[in-house]
Amino acid sequence: MHPRRTAHLLSRVALMVLLSAPFLVVSAQDAKPATGKDAKAVEQAPAAPEAVPEPSVPEMEEEVIGSVSPAERMKQGGKTMLFLLALSVIALTFSLERAVRLRRGVVAPEGLVDEARDLWDERNYDGILALCERRPSTLATIIDAFVRHRHCTSQELSMLAGDLAGRDMRRHLQRAYPIAVVATLSPLLGLLGTVVGMIESFEIVAIAGSLGDASLMAGSISKALVTTAGGLVIAIPALGLYHLFKSRTQGLTMQLEGEVHELLTAWFMEARRGREADHAG
């Protein structure tokens, strides 16, 4: 190679090395591990705060709902809740009374018809009357009337039994009527308490001059709706119990009609057919 060209090439390489030297120094310093003051500065640097997870919406709802006890809810309802509490006591009292009194043993006891039929076949009328006194019920009242009016026709006795049974079963149904009254009044009284509470809430907001405060309005409306919820809580089971006792009364009435029809057929229809057969013979 020509000496002049070789010198020119070497001069270019040297120039390139000189130009790239500063960049090599900077990169070496960046890659160099921290020591001394630099290491201490890194260690003393405050760590970034950890992100605290925000509570979810269901968790916030549980906290808000669980923070208010039932007693506090009652106080929020005001005086209206006292009237609703009185109605609930009335409904509970009559429901317990109907659960005890409205049963077959009080209306048509099992076995009473068979015992009375045996005594009737023996013509032991005094024994039938004593049996009715020992086992008081609607059916016993009808059997007692049959014995005392045994000389009447079967049609007259059927009308008598219908009157006695209808009067007694209507009395059973009327005893459950207060439960229906409670079921009707409770939601209306709760709604009245809500309306009164809403009026008071708007007055408070107007006086405070914070009509645009959504939190104040929401709290007032929440307290006002407590009475409506209380009225529905009382009315729903009361209405269900009333229809339950009404259905039970109708079922016992059908059982009583069957027992009375059996008595009329066994005591008077068969006896009448026997007398007609004797006259024909």
Tokens of 236: 């729903």
Query: Which run of H or of E encompasses 102?
Result: none
Contacts 24+ apart (CB under 8 A), 112-118: 112/137, 112/139, 112/140, 112/143, 112/259, 113/139, 113/143, 113/259, 113/262, 113/263, 116/143, 116/263, 117/263, 117/266, 117/267
Is-above-0.85 flag for pTM? no
3-state DSSP helix/strand/coil % of the chain, to nearest 5:
85, 0, 15
- Count of CB atoms within 10 A of residue 169's CB? 18
Going residue by residue through the chain, which has 281 residues, state the pLDDT in tens, using 9 for 90 and above.
444 554 455 455 544 544 454 444 444 444 445 444 454 444 554 554 555 455 554 444 454 445 667 677 677 777 888 999 999 999 999 999 999 999 999 999 988 988 998 898 888 999 999 999 999 999 999 999 999 988 888 888 889 999 999 999 999 999 999 999 999 999 999 999 888 888 877 777 777 665 556 566 666 677 778 899 999 999 999 999 999 999 999 999 999 999 898 888 887 765 555 444 445 54
- C-alpha distance from residue 256 to each of 29, 106, 113, 141, 172 (Å): 108, 11, 11, 12, 13
- Give 274's contacts (C-beta < 8 A, 6+ positions apart): none
Rounded distance, CA 188 to CA 101, Å? Answer: 30
Residues belonging to the chain: 281
Tokens of 100: 């005890």
